[in-house]
Structure 1
Amino acid sequence: MTSPSRLAVWGDPIDHSRSPDLHNAAYRLLGLDWEYGRRQVDEAGFDEALDSLDATWRGLSLTMPLKERAHARAHALDDDARLTGAVNTLLLGEEIHGFNTDVGGLTSALVAAGLAQVRTARVLGGGATARSALVSLLRLGVDEVELRMRRPEQAEELAGFAQRMGLKATTNELGSGSPPPPSVDLTVSTLPGSAALPDDVMTVLAREGGALFSAAYAPWPTALAQAWTDAPVLTGLEMLLHQAVAQIRIFLNGAPDAALPDEPAVLGVMRAALR
């Protein structure tokens, strides 16, 4: 029987995704005759789309808004997927295995950028990526985090998640008229690239926000990144790159920590594919 060789990234929207560039560059270097594409799948259509896949399919990458649905469909979960309730990688087969490589991807991106020593942080937004960001920040040694989002019920849920992990978390509204933000070492924005914030909000966030990591990378620069004039700015492409390496490890070896053959060379061709 031929080994499964089809993979893709699913999400809505999906046309902006650079995952096919990253994965296909790696597979060419590794000498794998695998096909990695993209498909627009919304939350309502996810179950039907997943159930339609045949035995030629090896795995999937998932982006918004599918990470919670993928978590619900996995038969087995890695520790980060179980902790965050979010899955961005499915390894298909008789059993579906779910992984969250966003946590390690963000950690690796921040370490590579020289931001491993931050102790206070602000997280903007409250979805699955925000939960992954909080786990990553905790592992880097952050002990205080301010959460800013538009929906109060989402803020309460995310604050509870942070506090259960041992983070000191405070919440505030993300908008004009909200309390002035405390000064922090790092701001992690999980907002979509097209998210519009009032100019006065972006100005004060940038002034008190330390370095900026934006999970978004299309369109780039985001309005928020343009407001960050006096501190380092890290694009979401860095997280995408490092979490994709872990995904390829999973698709090839079944585990996110099983190194690839000649992994530095693989990382090099993947980074070149982003240029």
Structure 2
Amino acid sequence: MPSPRRAAVLGSPIAHSLSPVLHRAAYAALGLDAWSYDRFEIDEAGLPGFVAGLDESWAGLSLTMPLKRAIIPLLDEISDTAASVEAVNTVVFTEDGRRVGDNTDIPGLIAALRERGVDKVESAAVLGAGATASSALAALARICTGPVTAYVRSEARAEEMRGWGERLGVDVRTADWANADRAFAAPLVIATTPAGTTDALAGEVPGAPGTLFDVLYHPWPTPLAAAWSKRGGAVLGGLDLLVHQAVLQVEQMTGVLEAPLSAMRDAGERALATE
């Protein structure tokens, strides 16, 4: 009988994380009966002690806020992708006991767009300037051939986004949030703001818009996403990102070549439907 293997998602707050639903669905579809995936409410102060207490049964960890940066000093190595945005959302424990960090949000975002036929764009717009916005810029560095305009609320945020652009090799231009409706002329708009922030913009969506990637997933659809879809534009949501980044996590932690994307998405949709 295979030895039990463990994985989990850590963060605070963590009670509503969909990660256990997605990973457990993958294990079931793959026949990995000895694998388990849990969630733990862990803040930055508790993280070092938790990691130090893990035994050889642990295969990996998923990290959400506020731990994506706090985990880095506790690791032996991080990928170039994670280093580019100073954020780790995935830790894999190797057979020789090393802790290796990666960021699957960035390739997950790219994979979600590619699934919808968006491989390259000539320009893009980002709504917001938080941690998710920097991951969006890192993804756009790979698929956007022209400028990216970030719509933000302060000069400090604008400077931060321009700094990320320089670091990631993206031509980032900034604009005031008061003009955020101008973002909708871009072929790709990535909304990275908290729930409710873009609701007032729903009435400004033009006819025949491009693609909207709204990283929220509950409640869904957001007013902006609903208006966008009504106008005939392509819409991706937070579940698309969650599923694609989780697919990559499952593959890294278990060693399988291809995680069951459809089974994981179906499980996520069922979970959201019952909330």
Structure 1's 113 and 179: CA in aligned 2 closer, same or farther, altered over 3 A?
closer
What is the aligned partner in structure 1 of residue 206 from structure 2?
Answer: 207
| Runs of 4+, deviation exceeding 6 Å | none
- Distance across 1 between alignment mates of 2:166 and 2:223: 30
Q: 1:110·1:116 contact (CA, 8 Å) conserved in 2?
A: yes
- Distance across 1 between alignment mates of 2:142 and 2:165: 12
Post-superposition CA distance 1:22-64 (Å, at most 9, x none)? 1111112222211101222233433333333333322111122
- The one-letter amino acid of 1:224's match is L
Q: Is 2:5 the counterpart of 1:5?
A: yes
Q: 1:196·1:223 contact (CA, 8 Å) conserved in 2?
A: no
- The one-letter amino acid of 2:132's match is T
- Distance across 2 between alignment mates of 1:221 and 1:179: 20
- Distance across 2 between alignment mates of 1:142 and 1:198: 29
- The one-letter amino acid of 2:187's match is D
Post-superposition CA distance 1:220-243 (Å, at most 9, x none)? 222432342322211111111111
What is the aligned partner in structure 2 of residue 256 from structure 1?
Answer: none
- Distance across 1 between alignment mates of 2:202 and 2:158: 19
What is the aligned partner in structure 2 of residue 142 from structure 1?
Answer: 145
- 1:152: Cα distance to partner? 3.0
Q: 2:124·2:144 contact (CA, 8 Å) conserved in 1?
A: no
Post-superposition CA distance 1:122-175 (Å, at most 9, x none)? 11222332222112112113321011233432321221221333322111233x
What is the aligned partner in structure 2 of residue 167 from structure 1?
Answer: 170
**133-142 or 48-57, which moves further after superposition?**
48-57
- The one-letter amino acid of 1:186's match is L
TM-score by length of 2: 0.84
1:89-108 to 2 correspondences below 5 Å: 89-92=90-93, 94-108=97-111
- The one-letter amino acid of 2:241's match is M
Alignment partner of 1:272 out of 262, 266, 272: 266
- The one-letter amino acid of 1:172's match is A
- Distance across 1 between alignment mates of 2:8 and 2:130: 22
- 1:3: Cα distance to partner? 4.9
- The one-letter amino acid of 1:218's match is H
Q: Is 2:24 the counterpart of 1:30?
A: no
**76-85 or 128-137, which moves further after superposition?**
128-137
SS class of match (1:118): coil
Q: 2:112·2:241 contact (CA, 8 Å) conserved in 1?
A: yes
- Distance across 1 between alignment mates of 2:154 and 2:72: 23
Q: Is 2:180 the counterpart of 1:186?
A: no
- 1:178: Cα distance to partner? 4.3
Q: 1:121·1:142 contact (CA, 8 Å) conserved in 2?
A: no
Q: 2:84·2:168 contact (CA, 8 Å) conserved in 1?
A: no
- The alignment covers a number of residue pairs equal to 261
Q: 1:106·1:242 contact (CA, 8 Å) conserved in 2?
A: yes
RMSD: 2.4
- 1:179: Cα distance to partner? 7.1
Q: 1:68·1:128 contact (CA, 8 Å) conserved in 2?
A: no
TM-score by length of 1: 0.84
- The one-letter amino acid of 2:58's match is W
What is the aligned partner in structure 2 of residue 257 from structure 1?
Answer: none
Structure 1's 36 and 161: CA in aligned 2 closer, same or farther, altered over 3 A?
same
Q: 1:71·1:81 contact (CA, 8 Å) conserved in 2?
A: no
- Distance across 1 between alignment mates of 2:223 and 2:65: 20
Q: 2:10·2:39 contact (CA, 8 Å) conserved in 1?
A: yes
SS class of match (1:123): strand
- For structure 2, the residue ranges without an aligned partner over 5 or more in a row are 270-275
Q: Is 2:255 the counterpart of 1:221?
A: no
SS class of match (2:218): coil
Structure 1's 49 and 207: CA in aligned 2 closer, same or farther, altered over 3 A?
farther
- Distance across 2 between alignment mates of 1:126 and 1:252: 33
